Structure 1
Amino acid sequence: MTILRSNNNPIISPISVTASESNMEVIGVFNAGVARYNDEIVLLLRVAERPINHDTEVMLVPVYDPASKQIRIETILKHPDHDMSDVRVIKTPKRNYLTSMSHLRVARSKDGINFTIDAEPTIMPDTIYESYGIEDPRITQIGDTYYITYSAISEYGICTGLITTTDFLDFERKGNVFHPDNKDVVIFPRKIGDKYYALHRPSCSHYGNPEMWIAESSDLLQWGNHQHLIGVREGSWDGGRIGASAIPFEIEEGWLEIYHGADSNNRYCLGALLLDKNEPWKVLARSEIPFMEPERDYEVEGFFGNVIFPCGVLYEDGLIKIYYGAGDTCVGYAETTLEFIKENLSQGSLTR
């Protein structure tokens, strides 16, 4: 078995989701965190919306106002001083904006393929650190509690926030646990020794590259002892940027981490890391070549094409079940075996 994509792909598309307000339209539903809760598989979807716009001479951008608890729409003229070359971002001399705003929404399924999606947003932006939206949730279960890390976007940068739940009905915000700019935070599902561990991806503006680090904590709120874990590999499939994708899961040989890498052309593929079971800052093996690449039309095309980006993986019954964002537009499902990933790792290296 290699990579088996669902015949129903994409399993969730923008047309499946209602907008949060009548003046908004859903342009993407993707990068979903996943968890098993009772007898259901729960996805926490990233839903990206933008204002409905009939004027081709301007761009409308949504900004959350925490004072009024409302989304306001700002108008930006198309102008030579305004960089709109990236469909995701507008850069002006005074400020940068996102062209869409994301919130999180729960979807539930008995079979892992056919999902019932909540009609209303589950978690909306709430603070000044989320005025551009909340994105890319990852879900770690520890005991009966689910710990949700997510990217909080604002004019202050990209923080990582933490929310907890025990039932995916009531949610408790814990605030920002990683300062800007930091994203792709995944928490290991148990203590190792007497510490919790998390992988994260700080963004270095002057000297470093967007690479993967590891940190430790005694309470899941305060994180320290940050160490560099792996770096980009120039000229390779992961030579542009890398980051943790799924929650690491435990196998006989150690901790297996599914991670994403992008090349210099922003083509996102998937690889794997094997980390030491007792000292997870030690890398035992790393994919030399990706085990999954954007190939299908819904992966190659889309709002931002050539992207496969999983925030959720379940390891059950010998299968690795991958829920991934495709083209920053929709949700795909694929599965493979542990043996296939191990074979990919056997071709790997310890290059950092």
Structure 2
Amino acid sequence: MEVIGAFNPGATRFGDEVILLLRVAERPIMEDPDYVGVPMLNLNHRNGSRRIEILPVPKYSPLTDLSDPRAVVYEGRIYLSSISHLRLARSRDGIHFTIDPEPTLFPETPYEEYGIEDCRITRIDDTYYISYTAVSRYGICVGLASTRDFKQFQRHGLILHHENKNVVLFPRKIGGRYVAMHRTAPSGFNGPHMWLAYSPDLLHWGGHQVLMAPRVHQWDSRRIGAGAPPMETPEGWLIVYHGVNAKDGYCAGVALLDLEEPHRVLHRSQEPLIAPTEDYEVSGFFERVVFPTGLVPMSDGRWMLYYGVADRSVAVAETSMEELLAVAKGEVAAASR
């Protein structure tokens, strides 16, 4: 197996450190150049063991479709070309990180057969909750884990069924309930919208409401999804989200939600906060991707926005609460990489 990318990290502060949980994607190295390897989790239910199994797929078969570098379609079935796990990285300054040598969270259930991806980290009281995408033959679902020390982790299983992803938790209850943003898959009637959901216990979710939809002829016209967990400000919940259009690809934007009625969108940026323009954002495993996943306030007033680039690596932009509020209101449109 070879690592093809470490990207789309969940991010938070823990003590005097910045913590990232990186998505580390690996793919098989095949000896026969006429075959592509599909990695997947193999579970032995008798003894509880697990291992990565490689399915060889003929590249040049009329039944094989490799047009999307992220996927392998063979005999009508969709697989992923890589398998992902989550791995911890730590930093004192938010820029220079030490990455753990071993995986932190590894696929371990049938619903994680093709990997676990794109986590977000939200601190609620003294617990850090990690929402992540679980991928398998059964679809794309949402899993939840938690920790208090980033050493011991508890798995809570699936909290939203397929097809769903980009789940981000709010850092406190609103109206006595926990709140999450999530993104459903498009259907014949609608595009991929951002939704809100509510829960008494973080495990059982309902009361779903549409929060935002793609906007025609704008930077987020094709699809949108939650990015970093919401930050509470005196003016409302500040959210950084991703949007996609045909010209620019994946971009980061900003919106402001009402503090006590989060389904009310007060402001939404007319221009992207960050669009893929740097070489490392434009070229990679999947081109033209800026994918925000973590926003961390520093002790000196800076806010560090962590985002995945081109499905290959991680970048950071320095910003501030004031700048993000101004972007949401359309007063400025800038962020310093």
- TM-score normalised by structure 1 residue count: 0.90
Kindly provide the amino acid, as one letter, of the partner of residue 170 in structure 2: F
Task: Work out which structure has the larger RCO, using CA pairs closer than 8 Å and 6 or more positions apart in sequence.
Answer: 1
Report how far residue 266 of structure 1 moved: 7.0
Paired position in structure 2 for 1:233: 215
What amino acid sits opposite 1:340 in the alignment? E
User: Is 1:112 aligned with 2:131?
Assistant: no
Q: Which one of the candidate residues 285, 307, 315 is aligned to 1:324?
A: 307
Q: Percentage identity across aligned positions?
A: 52
| Counterpart check, 1:286 vs 2:263 | no
How far did 1:52 drift? 1.1
Deviation at 1:65, TM superposition (A): 1.1
2:318 is aligned with 1:335: yes
Q: How far apart are 1:220 and its partner, in Å?
A: 0.7
Can you give the 5+ residue segments of structure 1 that lack an aligned partner in the other structure?
1-23
Candidates 16, 30, 35, aligned match of 2:7: 30
SS in 1 for 2:65: coil
Q: Mind listing any 5+ residue stretches in structure 2 that lack a counterpart?
A: 332-337
2:51 to 54, 59, 70: 70
In 2, Cα distance between the equivalents of 1:131 and 1:121?
Answer: 16
Question: How many angstroms apart in 1 are the aligned matches of 2:137 and 2:66?
Answer: 17
Distance 1:169 1:337 in 2: 30
Deviation sequence 1:48-88 (CA, Å, 0-9, x none) = 00011232211101010122411100000122222110000
Amino acid in the other structure paired with 1:135? E
Name 1:4's counterpart in structure 2.
Answer: none
- What is the aligned partner in structure 2 of residue 173 from structure 1? 155
Q: Give the Å deviation of 1:265.
A: 5.3
Of 90, 98, 108, which aligns to 2:80? 98
Q: Does residue 58 of structure 1 match 2:39? A: no
2-structure distance, mates of 1:157, 1:265: 29
The CA distance in 1 between the partners of 2:173 and 2:287, in whole Å, is: 37
> Partner amino acid for 2:81?
T
How many residues are matched?
325
CA RMSD of aligned residues (A): 1.3
- Contact 1:249 / 1:315 at 8 angstroms: preserved in 2? no
Q: Distance in 1 between matches of 2:111 and 2:42?
A: 10
Residues 12-62 of structure 1, C-alpha deviation per residue, up to 9 Å, x if partnerless? Answer: xxxxxxxxxxxx100000000011111111110100000112322111010
**3-state DSSP class of the match of 1:344?**
helix
1:347 aligns with 2:330: yes
Contact 1:309 1:326 in 2 (8 A): yes
Counterpart secondary structure, 1:339: helix
Query: 2:252 maps to what in 1?
Result: 270
1:42 aligns with 19
Q: Which residue of 1 aligns with 2:136?
A: 154
What is the TM-score with the length of structure 2 in the denominator?
A: 0.94
Comparing 186-195 with 60-69, which one deviates more in the overlay?
60-69
* Preserved contact between residue 212 and residue 228 of structure 1 (Cα < 8 Å): yes
SS in structure 2 of the partner of residue 122 of structure 1: coil
1:198 aligns with 2:180: yes
Q: Greater shift after overlay, 143-152 or 198-207?
A: 198-207
Task: Assess if the C-alpha contact under 8 Å between 1:39 and 1:110 holds in 2.
Answer: yes
User: Hey, what's the Cα distance between the residues in 2 that align with 1:55 and 1:334?
Assistant: 42
CA distance in 2, matches of 1:222, 1:266: 37
Could you tell me whether the CA contact under 8 Å between 2:94 and 2:304 is conserved in 1? no
Partner of 1:87: 69
Q: Secondary structure at the match of 2:259?
A: coil
3-state DSSP of counterpart to 2:31: coil
